[in-house]
Amino acid sequence: MIIKGADILTPYGITKSGIVVIEDGIIVRISPMGDMYPDDEFRREYGGEHRVIDGTGLTLAPGFIDIHAHGGGGYDTSDGTYDSLERMCLSHAAHGTTGILPTTMSAPAETLLEIARLVGGCMGAKAPCGAGILGLHLEGPWLNPEWKGAQPITGIRAPSIEELDELIEASSGNIRMITVAPEMPGALNLINHAIDSGIKVSLGHSSATYDQVIAAVDRGATHVTHAYNAMSGLHHRRPGMVGAMLSCDRLTADVILDGFHIHHAAAKMLMKCKGKDRLALITDATMAAGMPDGEYELGGQKVIYRGGAVRLPDRNLAGSALTLDNAVKYAVRELECSLEDAIWMVSETPAWILGIDDKKGSVEVGKDADLVLLDAELQVKATIVCGSLAYMSEDAPWQIHVG
């Protein structure tokens, strides 16, 4: 595939009206259009037939990575079927997401094992179409029931190394992140074990004190789940988890920028404290993402999507209907964030958090061709996953073949 004419957003600046050449799913060349080879010379070097996408007037950015998404397009990770995962991935790809961590709710042990087996079986050659599955995020079941948020209380239980090992085996080693309340009995030992198993540990759904958070960080926890939400707040004599998140440089965080979960001033404070390198934008999306208002489910619970927010029948927020392209728009529009920084927080930072930034997260030679084409209003025109077209809008750039 060749993408020509777009302004290319790289870690080193913008290449105006550039060209990107993709072979076998990898970016092999980035250069200004002025350096475009004559057709005969190009064919001699690269050979074969190529799809050419004209990106003139568009911005080519790294594909978005969502490390916390329960569902989308009318489907939920907890459905437990390959078809549901694929439709969820296709829905998110239409909004620029090229990599995703399907995320569980707290649930009975056998339910989580079934989901772990499903996600483990969807890696590699059996990957669904749409956004690429990067592994599984277990949001629970090892949370504080008093800070459950929208998590089903019947699915929350004490931290267990034995259960984690069973889930790791069921997923064929594809659990990438777990969310844990560090103050719960046995949590610190679980954190140690998860880190030794190559799993990123995030802290959340927690009443932890500042000191309890730092103790978890000393054991290897590095991240905080959906900043400000379902965690002990900031007081000048009791900093809590929010205070630890804002002040500890060893912690990264993620945030839901949907206009409902946090006030824009709190979001600005978070960005100033963490910076683009330690803050990832997430969706926490339910199956309502990309769907009209109505009744849906989240981990088997009824939720109501109306007026942009997803809520339980008791009116408490329950995930979101957010997509990452809209999170980027919110950051640019409401937080006075540059487009480059907003894109960074949905690409480079989540890739670094997951430890996959050597392959994903930026437009660079040698990295996976996970890319998104955006127009001036930041509407997604095309999404490319590992060099294959995962989504193209009806009014997207024309294509030709050469060779």
Q: What is the largest CA-CA distance in the chain?
A: 71
How far, in Å, CA of 192 to CA of 290, rounded? Answer: 38
Q: What are the CA-CA distances from residue 144 to residues 156, 183, 207, 313 (Å)? A: 8, 8, 7, 22
Nearest to 89 by CA among 313, 335, 289, 336: 289
Give catalytic residues, as residue numbers.
284
Phi, psi of 34 (to 5 degrees): -60, -20
How, if at all, do strands 59-62 and 371-374 pair?
A: antiparallel
DSSP 225: S
Whether 116 and 167 have beta carbons less than 8 Å apart is answered as: yes
Whole-angstrom distance, CA of residue 158 vs CA of residue 140: 10
- DSSP code for 359: T
Q: At a CB cut-off of 8 Å and minimum separation 6, what does 378 contact? A: 325, 328, 329, 332, 339
- The single-letter DSSP state of residue 126 is G
Q: Are 315 and 354 in contact (CB under 8 A)?
A: no
Q: Using CA atoms, how far apart are residues 109 and 188, in angstroms rounded to an integer? A: 21
Half-sphere exposure (CA, 13 Å, Cβ side) for 107?
21
Contact indicator for 168, 176 with CB cutoff of 8 Å: no
Give the number of other Cβ atoms within 10 Å of residue 393's Cβ.
Answer: 14
Phi, psi of 16 (to 5 degrees): -70, 135
DSSP string covering 51-95, please? EEEE-TT-EEEEPEEEEEE-EETTEEGGG--HHHHHHHHHHHHTT
